Chain A
């Protein structure tokens, strides 16, 4: 698809000329550095509990049984599904509402706009811990404790997404929407048909960030949820911490498994991201 648009290929092509074997070496070395802890994690997941505290990386023998063991201790799939659905909804809501808000902040001119925006941004600057008790009390009033909704809603309307997409939309040339407006398009049409498609890399980026962040969120779900069957994965992993110490080998097996769906999702979305970056390479 990219080859049908030579002008946009240039974007990266000019830099690729310089790549040589040394570059690959550096990249491979860096990659190994990034993977190393994961290799350790994966290897530990095959150890026995007593081996898991050895400095030795390799297990004495590969205990595949650790993996079925995980499923015996926790309903792993259930937890993973909970996490996926919760993070999925947060992502969908976040991306959609943030895109709307960002459009308003970046492309519409209304009195008081920038002040409202800065107020928005300022709310991110307060540590979430202090709002924990007020938010929790709000949840109690709204009868949302121990519900999926109570995990989705408070996470879905942050200022981060709005900020990110606003920055993205500021980079899209004004001429585009002006042209559309002259053609008699409504604000909604401009948003839906002009800005949104051009913000694609921003949207995908935000989707990735939001999903990853919420798939891993721990503290809020920990405090909010009471029913085991509704636990998201990070909270569910607490089951490996017992009075008698931590079942490190099983924990590592569970974490190894939890990484897999994320990698798959990332690889899928990343394709979009790359395409998006190549096509959305427009800046004013």
Chain B
């Protein structure tokens, strides 16, 4: 296809290309590029705000890679890096959540019954809440009543506006200012706060169930989790082999699929008390063996297959599997302790105050914010761009909803998923700074200290800018590599 602008000399094309870029790139260069280059330089110096600033002009020393080597000698750097990656496990959930929300919203978007639906909704909402508030002084009943009315109002409004109300409601988490969200969630997570108040009866009920059959739970839960996890792992291995045999997956996809599978296995081993070396080395060894075993197999359907064919589907599937397997590993590790805990009554978790719960608490908060996030809007836009002819054709073939999703919706959304994935990795790895500053101060015992919070502390509390910059550039390198991978898979699947 001869693209636009293919006419004219390269020079002319360059001029017009740059001309359009100019307004953006000028501002960009001034306010992004210049500081960026400066920070790159800083990473290789011993810049310490204590000694190098407008008040004290000591000579800045070029220290080469010293900052970087110090980083890896820092006793907690790897811990914080691990925290950052652990929190990233929430990303697939978040993407799945926003995709799910978008799918649901697309299904209801029929024609609005009334054009002024939004106004009707607003009026209803206001009168509803006004009425409720007039009846002040009520206790718990009042809360249920409020939720009842809200449910009714959103249902009515949903019908009236053709579902766009839900879109607004889902998008609500984006309306509070960032810091306010953290304050809000800190309150919600208070051990005697609203979440635990709601959770209390549920846990009590569950505890009595556990107490009634303690043996069943002490081995049943870990066993069930273990069996499911093993089955899923084996299934994925079998699938990989199958795809290799069918030449629908290249070596790159097979290896990366295996690598992702190794993550939960390694975590499981780590939680079972094995040393870090075994927990990392063991699964890696298995990956190696598995890769050899699979890749050695002769191909049934001939050799023609790109090295990274099928990577997109592989990564998508593995991303879904990894968090699930991680959850199951949690079940295997801690499930057997259930009866002992239930004997004294299951306490609601002390979310942000507990070393083990702090990270999941933050991931849940992230999930809540992600379901109705910008990603949902992007998916909505993406979904509406899928040509209906594709679905019609599939319907004629009698495809099941799952098949429709897997063969039409998911591949068609690849560019959107690609964008969301890249941005998710970028912001996910950089994130956690504001959250840590406001909610946890990186604690308890450093369990929520992410790299970005570490950078903040090094840069602004200890003043070692060179060191902080080096940490930031390590983070950059990680994001860059992940994005590059993402790009390969994204561009490929976008062009599939």
- Whether A and B touch (Cβ < 8 Å) is answered with yes
Whether a CB of chain B sits under 8 angstroms from the CB of A24 is: yes
Most chain B CB within 10 A, of A9, A44, A98, A133, is at A133
Whether a CB of chain B sits under 8 angstroms from the CB of A245 is: no
Contacts of A212 in B (CB 8 A): 174-175, 374
Separation in Å of the A113 CB from the closest CB of chain B? Answer: 6
Pairwise interchain contact B136-A62, C-beta atoms closer than 8 A: yes
Whether a CB of chain B sits under 8 angstroms from the CB of A274 is: yes
Pairwise interchain contact A124-B415, C-beta atoms closer than 8 A: no
Pairwise interchain contact B434-A19, C-beta atoms closer than 8 A: no
Pairwise interchain contact A19-B20, C-beta atoms closer than 8 A: no
B residues 477-491 with Cβ under 8 Å of A? 479-480, 483, 487
Separation in Å of the A176 CB from the closest CB of chain B? Answer: 9
Pairwise interchain contact B184-A263, C-beta atoms closer than 8 A: no
B residues 156-171 with Cβ under 8 Å of A? 158-159, 163-164, 166-171
Interface locus among B138-146, B236-244, B305-313: B138-146
Contact of B483 among A112, A120, A121, A187 (CB under 8 A): A121
The chain B residue sitting closest to A26, CB to CB, is B104
CA of A109 to CA of B409 in the docked complex: distance in angstroms? Answer: 30
- Known contacts A28-B151, A107-B5, A125-B476: A156-B196 contact under CB 8 Å: no
CA of A160 to CA of B173 in the docked complex: distance in angstroms? Answer: 21
Contacts of A96 in B (CB 8 A): 23
Separation in Å of the A157 CB from the closest CB of chain B? Answer: 3
Pairwise interchain contact B4-A174, C-beta atoms closer than 8 A: yes
CA of A133 to CA of B94 in the docked complex: distance in angstroms? Answer: 32
Pairwise interchain contact A35-B25, C-beta atoms closer than 8 A: no
- Known contacts A100-B24, A181-B4: A234-B104 contact under CB 8 Å: no
Pairwise interchain contact B479-A125, C-beta atoms closer than 8 A: yes
Pairwise interchain contact A110-B28, C-beta atoms closer than 8 A: no
Pairwise interchain contact B372-A130, C-beta atoms closer than 8 A: no
CA of A164 to CA of B377 in the docked complex: distance in angstroms? Answer: 12
Contact of B372 among A34, A104, A233 (CB under 8 A): A34
Pairwise interchain contact A255-B385, C-beta atoms closer than 8 A: no
Whether a CB of chain B sits under 8 angstroms from the CB of A282 is: yes
Contact of B452 among A58, A129, A131 (CB under 8 A): A129
A residues 99-118 with Cβ under 8 Å of B? 100-101, 103-105, 107-113, 116, 118
Whether a CB of chain B sits under 8 angstroms from the CB of A67 is: no
Q: How many residues of B contact A (CB 8 A)?
A: 130
- Known contacts A109-B4, A156-B27: A27-B32 contact under CB 8 Å: no
The chain B residue sitting closest to A264, CB to CB, is B122
A residues 163-214 with Cβ under 8 Å of B? 163-164, 167, 170-171, 174, 177-178, 181, 187, 190-191, 201-202, 205, 208-209, 212
Pairwise interchain contact A37-B456, C-beta atoms closer than 8 A: no
Pairwise interchain contact B107-A16, C-beta atoms closer than 8 A: yes
Pairwise interchain contact B387-A111, C-beta atoms closer than 8 A: no
Contacts of A118 in B (CB 8 A): 487
- Known contacts A55-B192, A121-B483, A123-B33: A159-B28 contact under CB 8 Å: yes
Contacts of A191 in B (CB 8 A): 20
Whether a CB of chain A sits under 8 angstroms from the CB of B202 is: no
Whether a CB of chain B sits under 8 angstroms from the CB of A219 is: yes
CA of A59 to CA of B104 in the docked complex: distance in angstroms? Answer: 35
Contacts of A70 in B (CB 8 A): none
Most chain A CB within 10 A, of B1, B388, B480, is at B388
CA of A171 to CA of B495 in the docked complex: distance in angstroms? Answer: 11
Whether a CB of chain A sits under 8 angstroms from the CB of B108 is: yes
CA of A181 to CA of B28 in the docked complex: distance in angstroms? Answer: 30
The chain A residue sitting closest to B27, CB to CB, is A157
B318-336 vs A, CB cutoff 8 Å, 1 = contact: the mask equals 0000000000000000000
Separation in Å of the A123 CB from the closest CB of chain B? Answer: 5
Pairwise interchain contact A31-B170, C-beta atoms closer than 8 A: yes
The chain B residue sitting closest to A255, CB to CB, is B180
Contacts of A263 in B (CB 8 A): 168, 172, 175
Whether a CB of chain A sits under 8 angstroms from the CB of B419 is: yes
B369-403 vs A, CB cutoff 8 Å, 1 = contact: the mask equals 00110100110110011111001100000000000
Pairwise interchain contact B104-A27, C-beta atoms closer than 8 A: yes
Contact of B459 among A19, A61, A130, A218 (CB under 8 A): A130
Whether a CB of chain A sits under 8 angstroms from the CB of B35 is: yes
Pairwise interchain contact A138-B34, C-beta atoms closer than 8 A: yes
3 tightest A-B CB contacts, nearest first: A157-B27, A110-B17, A134-B35
B: residues with CB less than 8 A from A are 1-7, 10, 13-14, 16-28, 30-36, 38-39, 42, 49, 101, 104-111, 118, 129, 133, 136-140, 142-143, 146-147, 150-151, 154-155, 158-159, 163-164, 166-180, 183-185, 187-188, 190, 192-194, 196-197, 368, 371-372, 374, 377-378, 380-381, 384-388, 391-392, 415-416, 418-419, 422-423, 426, 430, 433-434, 451-452, 455-456, 459, 465, 468-469, 472-473, 475-476, 479-480, 483, 487
14 residue pairs of the A-B complex, CB under 8 angstroms, read: A12-B110, A16-B107, A19-B107, A23-B104, A37-B184, A40-B188, A108-B20, A126-B476, A153-B30, A157-B28, A167-B419, A181-B7, A237-B180, A278-B384
